[in-house]
Amino acid sequence: MKVTLSFEETKSSDVSIMVDVLRASTTITSALNKFEEIIPCFTPEEAFKLKSETGGVIAGERKGAKVEGFDIGNSPNAIKDFDSDSKTLILTTSNGTRILEKMNSKVLIGCLNNANAVADASVELGESHLDLVMAGVWGKFAIEDFLAAGEIIYQISEKCSDCEISEYAKSAILASRDFDAVKKAFYESTSGNKLKSLGYEKDIEFSLCKNSTKNVGKYDGKKINKINFK
């Protein structure tokens, strides 16, 4: 299997892993504990329309802050503590859901929380080209996505002895090996500083919990559902 690393747009028509660790992919992975389906959408207006059609909970942010009128923000901690009878979450974010809109492959959702599980899932799919796609922040490279992708790629390399890993992907593996440095980078990143300024510092801590869940979301072009792999 060929393993590559990309920014914003996937290079693969086989399998892609979307990584927006602060916070969309972490929020989605956490939300799979409470919701049967997650519908990504691309504007707040679309989210309100979907809420009226489905009765779902609407969550999301713009520039890190909860959208006015939404039930909840794009926060894994807020999702964890939120009570609802609805089984549908509608999510719109500045970066992660925007990236999903462009993908035309099988898409998995990856973060540090599910790094081992999403690696298992991607290898078990058995496709020839796996591309990890960093969402970035406001159209720019985000160090936390690079480091989280590196952890996932490392887990893949441990499970797939004949993987052909691109040099860019290998560099992400190397960067992710010093976890103290990873933590420092998360807190001092553009996204980390923005979250701290908005009072979401605990979301950074949450996002750094490696392999805390076996949840893996799969996006079919319309919605995200949890998949079950060994």
Enter the DSSP assignment of 222.
S
Mean pLDDT of the chain: 95
Q: In the predicted model, is pLDDT for residue 199 greater than 90?
A: yes
User: What pLDDT is stored for residue 229 in this prediction?
Assistant: 60
Average pLDDT score over residue span 26-52: 96
Per-residue model confidence as pLDDT tens digits over 113-134: 999 999 999 999 999 999 999 9
User: What pLDDT is stored for residue 63 in this prediction?
Assistant: 86
CA 206/CA 222 separation, integer angstroms: 27
DSSP string for 33-101: TT-SEEEE-SSHHHHHHHHHHH--EEEEEETTEEPTT-SB-S-HHHHHH---S-SEEEEE-SSHHHHHT
% of the chain beyond a pLDDT of 90: 90
DSSP string for 86-110: -SEEEEE-SSHHHHHTT--SEEEEE
Average pLDDT score over residue span 183-189: 98
8 A C-beta contact, residue 71 and residue 59: yes
CATH topology of domain 2-222: putative 2-phosphosulfolactate phosphatase (3.90.1560)
CA 3/CA 216 separation, integer angstroms: 19
Q: What angle do CA 29, 35, 36 make, to 5 degrees?
A: 100
H helix count then E strand count, the chain: 10, 11
Helix or strand run (H / E) with residue 204 = helix 201-207
Per-residue model confidence as pLDDT tens digits over 161-179: 899 999 999 999 999 999 9
Place of tokens 């609407």: 58
Per-residue model confidence as pLDDT tens digits over 59-71: 999 988 999 999 9
pTM over 0.85: yes
Q: In the predicted model, is pLDDT for residue 100 greater than 80?
A: yes
